[in-house]
Amino acid sequence: MSVPVLDVRGLAYAYPDGHQALFGVDLHVHRGERVALLGPNGAGKTTLVLHLNGILQAGAGSVAVSGLPVEKANLREIRRRVGVVFQDPDDQLFMGTVRADVAFGPANLGLAGAELDRRVMAALDQVGMAEYVDRPPHHLSYGQRRRVAVATVLAMEPEILVLDEPSSNLDPASRRELADILRSLDVTVLMVTHDLPYALELCPRSVVLSGGTVVADGATYDVLTDEVLMEEHRLELPFGFDPRTALPPGR
């Protein structure tokens, strides 16, 4: 088996106020996988994600990206390898044009000129937003801003794309368009979501975090059809949605 692109071993973390958020989490994701991270509010999902690019430092255990430990000396490279797309795109879009926003990260790596332009346009092409390159982000729709936020991360050519609630506040058309984009990307995806149908549609594998520990790790279809697991960990399917009649990935 190849080295996992994301390798979390025995990760534990307590906040300064003493609240223990993670208790010995193990998570291994291999290149090209699309994995959903599920769990109720307060499960520790955000705390786990903040360890993946070194915003938080492990209290115990370890995190590595393609064999590179997530530690202070490696943070610049780790943050290139692990791209996080926040729930609110306006947290990532702060420049005067789409071009400037997408160029911001690569420019900070020292890229300039033709190579920087190539990165920007390649990222925007991947999300179907190249024609908006010179528009102010605040003139775009919410769904378009979400796609540009994804492009700002893709321009860094990351190994792992971490998405925090990517379908939130999207209308049905924008939700479908984003799903098509995510399926087309040649990148490892970890998707934090409460949108269980979206998890089933996009991620063949799901990991359930509850109470700071991993309580399930398997095929998304199997997780969503395990009624005991779902009830114990406060995971509820939308009214009228039955995964048994949906088309699961890879089935």
Q: What is the pLDDT of residue 250?
A: 47
Per-10-residue mean pLDDT of the chain, 251 residues long, equals: 88 93 95 95 91 90 93 91 92 93 93 94 96 95 95 95 93 93 94 95 96 95 95 91 72 47
* Tokens describing residue 177: 């368009």
Q: Is the pTM of this model over 0.85?
A: yes
Measured between its terminal Cα atoms, the distance across the chain in Å is 23
Cβ(38)–Cβ(203) below 8 Å:
no
The SS3 of residue 231 is helix
The SS3 of residue 94 is coil
**Domains of the chain: residue spans and CATH:** 6-232 (3.40.50.300)
Q: What is the pLDDT of residue 146?
A: 95
* Tokens describing residue 179: 């799903």
Beta carbons within 10 angstroms of residue 141's beta carbon: 11
H or E stretch covering 233: none
Beta carbons within 10 angstroms of residue 125's beta carbon: 13
CA distance 235 to 173: 25
- Evaluate the CA torsion angle 152, 154, 159, 161 in order and state its sign: positive
CA 137 to chain centre: 21
Q: What is the pLDDT of residue 247?
A: 59
Cβ(210)–Cβ(220) below 8 Å:
no
Cβ(11)–Cβ(24) below 8 Å:
yes
The SS3 of residue 249 is coil
* Tokens describing residue 175: 């939700």
Residues 6+ apart with CB under 8 A from 215: 208, 209, 229, 232, 233
Q: What is the pLDDT of residue 240?
A: 87
Q: What is the pLDDT of residue 248?
A: 47
